[in-house]
């Protein structure tokens, strides 16, 4: 239990740490993602720091090794001279019990210290004779050498097979902490072996090495900062025109087609600005030309639709008269009168749709929204298309709520959308049922129209809303409407602030979904009904 409690506490504190670190580092991460200049400067600083640090450390270490090596060479040379002098002096004493030997050792240390070329205020010379109790260790100046001459060094010098040994030690001499290069060497005499220790201060070399490290560090830091400043300036020279180009492109995309970049100089950035301005000018000309062509096309469509109304009315009157007297004609003439009446109906529908499309294109379409119960609208559409469904052998199945579904919509436009969707579904159902489902939630109302006919191929769910697009051109020549129904329907949905979407699969039929907000002007987030039907893998009889 204590282990589990500890693990829970660790996980809890870890989550808190991650949450707070994420919160406080979010501005940094945002700036890192958005600023090219920051990334370039940061990468330059890191790379230059690693490079300068590596070479600076190598140079400092090599300089320290050179300074220490020089001190070692000098100390070894001095030690060899002192060992030879001590050997010559102590050879005069054949026995360790000679009463004059202790004073001779002291005199020897004095002579060695007087002949030392190093700083006599800090260098130390000591002779030890550990195997002869009567001979005590002598050191000049008279200081405690226990911190400088360690037992390990004594063993290395005086032990069996002993020889010259070296150490670097730090000791406090006369209240001052000094680093020493300590050498020990055995001195062979007629009465045995003694040890000579020579301790040379390397404070000056250490100071020089520290000064060199500080110099290298300061120089490297200054170089890194200089590289960062240079990288920032160079990046700024490149990034600033790019930012200007981005802002100009945003203004162009917002419709401000007269925006241009400032061209300075003749370098690559100036060439980029000039090319950008040329591109913007070409786009402006093309957009203006296309807008003029679109305006002329919309005006042409509107004018033609209006102008055709007058002769169509006259032809309609004549056709109605002929159609009413068709029983008195020959069968062939009567059939022609029926075909004329049907094509006039279709032509009139086409003119109506063209006028509606022209209003959408001109931006004159208005939404007359009111609180409306959508259940009667769906029932009315199904009732009006019942004859068409009966002739096609299709059953229209309604899945409607038992309670009213109230939404702020334009009932005329919603009914037109449903009439187009249900009519298309009946025509393509291939004598299979068509399901119309209505559902709502707090924010949206959705209506789906599902058929089990030929379906749609991949990619056709986006093309189906294009004007005059037909999935099966040969079929469209015999049945179907004007080819503008779904285009008008999607515009009606957008006018409500809603969606009109399609799904289809070959052999599994298709489903269209109309989604509108409950309150006019609200933004849609989700639909109460799925676009892909739940029965897509169920065999429909």
Kindly report whether the peptide bond that precedes residue 184 is cis, defined as omega within 30 degrees of 0: no
The upper half-sphere exposure of residue 347, i.e. CA atoms within 13 Å in the direction of its Cβ, equals 16
Q: pLDDT (tens digit, 9 = 90+) per residue, 318-370?
A: 778 787 877 777 888 788 877 887 777 777 777 776 677 777 766 667 788 89
> pLDDT value at position 400?
92
For 514, the enclosing helix (H) or strand (E) is strand 509-517
Q: Give the pLDDT confidence score for residue 302 in this predicted structure.
A: 65
pLDDT at 538: 45
pLDDT at 478 over 60: no
Top-confidence residue, 20 or 238: 238
Mean pLDDT (the chain, rounded): 80
Q: What does the block give as tokens for 493?
A: 């949905």
Average of per-residue pLDDT across 23-45: 77
* pLDDT(69) > 70: yes
Report whether pLDDT(120) > 60.
Answer: no
Does 528 score more than 60 pLDDT?
yes
Between the alpha carbon of residue 284 and those of residues 214, 270, 272, 280, the distances in Å are 62, 21, 18, 6
From the list 190, 199, 201, 200, the residue with the least C-alpha distance to 86 is: 190
């Amino acid at each position: 239990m204590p282990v589990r409690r500890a693990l829970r506490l660790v996980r809890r504190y870890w989550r808190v740490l991650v949450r707070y670190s994420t919160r406080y580092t979010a501005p940094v991460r945002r700036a890192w993602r958005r600023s090219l200049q920051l990334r370039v400067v940061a990468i330059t600083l890191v790379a230059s720091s690693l490079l300068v640090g590596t070479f600076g450390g190598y140079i400092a270490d090599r300089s320290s090794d050179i300074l220490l090596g020089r001190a070692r060479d000098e100390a070894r040379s001095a030690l060899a001279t002192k060992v030879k002098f001590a050997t010559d002096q102590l050879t005069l004493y054949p026995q360790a019990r000679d009463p004059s030997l202790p004073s001779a050792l002291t005199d020897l240390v004095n002579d060695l210290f007087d002949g030392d070329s190093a700083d006599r205020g800090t260098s130390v010379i000591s002779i030890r004779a550990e195997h002869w109790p009567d001979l005590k260790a002598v050191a000049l100046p008279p200081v405690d050498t226990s911190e400088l001459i360690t037992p390990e060094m004594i063993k290395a010098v005086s032990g069996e097979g002993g020889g010259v040994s070296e150490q670097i030690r730090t000791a406090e001499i006369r209240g001052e902490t000094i680093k020493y290069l300590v050498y020990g060497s055995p001195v062979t005499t007629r009465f045995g072996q003694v040890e000579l220790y020579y301790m040379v201060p390397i404070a000056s070399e250490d100071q020089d090495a520290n000064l060199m490290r500080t110099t290298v560090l300061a120089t490297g830091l200054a170089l890194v900062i200089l590289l960062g400043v240079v990288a920032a300036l160079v990046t700024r020279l490149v990034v600033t025109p790019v930012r200007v180009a981005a802002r100009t492109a945003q203004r162009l995309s917002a419709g401000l087609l007269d925006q241009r970049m400032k061209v300075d100089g003749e370098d690559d950035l100036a060439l980029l600005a000039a090319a950008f301005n040329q591109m913007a000018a070409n786009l402006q000309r093309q957009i203006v030309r296309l807008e003029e062509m679109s305006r002329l096309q919309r005006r042409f469509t509107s004018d033609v639709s209006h102008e055709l109304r007058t002769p169509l009315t006259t032809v309609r009157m004549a056709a109605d008269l002929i159609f009413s007297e068709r029983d008195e004609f020959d069968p062939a003439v009567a059939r022609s009168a029926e075909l004329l009446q049907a094509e006039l109906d279709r032509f009139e529908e086409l003119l109506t749709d063209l006028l509606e499309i022209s209003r959408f294109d001109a931006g004159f379409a208005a939404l007359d929204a009111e609180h409306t119960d959508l259940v009667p609208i769906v029932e009315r559409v199904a009732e009006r298309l019942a004859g068409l469904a009966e002739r096609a052998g299709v059953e229209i199945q309604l899945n409607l709520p038992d309670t009213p579904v109230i939404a702020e919509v334009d009932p005329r436009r919603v009914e037109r959308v449903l009439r187009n969707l249900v009519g298309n579904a009946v025509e393509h159902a291939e004598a299979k049922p068509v399901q119309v489902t209505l559902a709502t939630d707090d924010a949206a109302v959705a209506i789906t129209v599902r058929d089990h006919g030929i379906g749609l191929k991949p990619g056709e769910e986006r093309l189906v809303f294009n004007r005059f697009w037909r999935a099966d051109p040969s079929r469209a020549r015999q049945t179907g409407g004007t080819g503008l129904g779904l285009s008008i329907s999607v515009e009606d949905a957008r006018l409500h602030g809603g969606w009109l979407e399609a799904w289809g699969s070959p052999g599994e039929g298709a489903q269209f979904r109309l989604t509108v907000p409950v309150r006019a002007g609200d933004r849609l987030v989700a639909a109460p009904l799925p676009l892909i039907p739940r029965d897509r893998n169920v065999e429909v009889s």
